[in-house]
Chain A
């Protein structure tokens, strides 16, 4: 199906089913339950299967269809883009690296809302320096035995599976220049004995990040994603998706909230020029993201240039919510109604926009080295 047919047909379906798709309740538990429901409805109606290959239960078509689905759901307030877009990040990894049968079995469960997956990358000792991870997997007769800790693992408390990066090279390889080589990616059942999940209380009030502990967790060899030692490639493969469809959805979220802001702000609370500035930033971010999505759809290899999109998201998200704090102080600062909690939580979450998924500084390092070709840093 082409986007030109997909768009009006999806719009009509969303209008028709708006009542069932509109979230009720507050908090992360309610949001997760609702997300599963939306995915299930959209999957059964076929929408959630477009843009994914047939061998994993998809209906084929361009990733633009996935881009539009997430955008349309976000624009109508039916989903939270952040938790929805995990699909965009993790399903492609499985499709590209899992054994064919495993991908065919698992991906539909993620798409249809039956399952949530998480991404076990960051560790206490490896924030920006991801390649120095130490969570260890040792070969056994049947596969791997995992010991170590992950942190900032989104939605781990809800997840049935985890895409986990482990060190299978020697522990000393962490300190070597080619530390990227000793990493292997595994697909782990979260109900495996030895896994402990501890949600982290954060300043924005939703415990969406977790610590995950692995104590002698056995993982079958058939759950290896890619070859042994190919884990860095798995991690890097995920970036183009995280930076294309998922960012496009995030742009739809910023657009919606900017609209909400000008609707809800009391008379005189917003300065016209400030609103104009934020409008332009969000527009510029979306123009960049849109271009990237079309490049993905055309089969181009996305690389370091997606760091530019990521920085634009960081900048526009923070300026939007800075404006929210200025324009809706009685909601963000003092308010206690449900809507106020949402604005406040989003404002606080936006403070992390320059930290997660590659910090503002790391992005600029990448841009300087890979896009501007400035040579080595001293």
Chain B
């Protein structure tokens, strides 16, 4: 897709998101999301940014993983990346489930695993957990080794994109509240303590956006993993400041803030959390006694 095609696709996704907010999968279907993705991975960037900004839920992640695995995105195929047991809503309905581990793509018999609706902190997300005795990392050798790294990279980058957009949305909520909420006869945005919190939130958002950009510019497992870890941490930082600035309003179920908080907590856990990635990256640096090269000019 060239820039004009991508802009047109993005605009149609935005429209579909408004029309099908309650069921974004249907909206994506309507705009030909899988075809766009098959043509250009950049379609995922648009979709996940909108999904994050508007707090929508879909199973677009499965399509991204399939595409990166060199398979055709298909609404009837759900993907789990071993060893991570949480999947999208598609896991509950798909006729085919595959797991990707270091050895290859492994079909999971539909009746073998126990699937559990993982409502948890984010019931609106539709997340599903594979549990029971089935082990995600056992089988292998069924098909030639897949580009697991490519799938993990694509998935992590898509989630990082969603996290960065959700962080920006939380900051926007807090910023609007701060300029409109009057206390002591003035907008609370005029108080330095509030201003500095919002400034810190923007710094976190800007960092997340920069690493997500870098990931899209050159997608490798390393750039995508760094993007995911940094966007994950940033989202926690932004959520903390936004919650405090939104104060009582943000604590109500009526205000949209809590839905973003719930979602980013889940997104951080998918395909490797910030804590896990930091641990792995740090351990590798200590073990190798060197740190990876970073972002060439």
Contact = CB atoms under 8 A, between A and B. Distances in A.
A280 B229 contact: yes
Interface in A356-378: 361, 363-365, 367-369, 371-372, 374-378
Contacts of A378: 186, 190-191
Nearest to B204: A284
A308 interface: yes
A68 B297 contact: yes
Contacts of A273: 275, 278-279, 282
B196 A312 contact: no
B223 to A, nearest CB: 9
Given A286-B294, A287-B210, A277 B196 contact: no
B297 A293 contact: yes
B207 A312 contact: yes
B297 A290 contact: yes
A279 B294 CA distance: 10
Interface string B168-207: 0000000100110000001101111001101110110011
A262 interface: yes
B233 interface: yes
A270 B192 CA distance: 37
B196 A262 contact: no
B283 interface: yes
Interface in B253-294: 275, 277-283, 285-286, 288-291, 294
A337 interface: no
A174 interface: no
Interface residues of A, number: 52
A276 B190 contact: no
A67 interface: yes
A259 interface: yes
A274 interface: yes
A249 B278 CA distance: 25
B200 A276 contact: no
A374 B291 contact: no
Contacts of A64: 297
A364 B282 contact: no
Given A279-B278, A374-B190, 20 more contacts: A7-B297, A67-B297, A68-B297, A259-B291, A262-B285, A272-B278, A280-B226, A280-B229, A283-B295, A284-B207, A288-B207, A290-B210, A290-B297, A305-B206, A364-B195, A371-B199, A374-B175, A374-B195, A375-B187, A377-B190
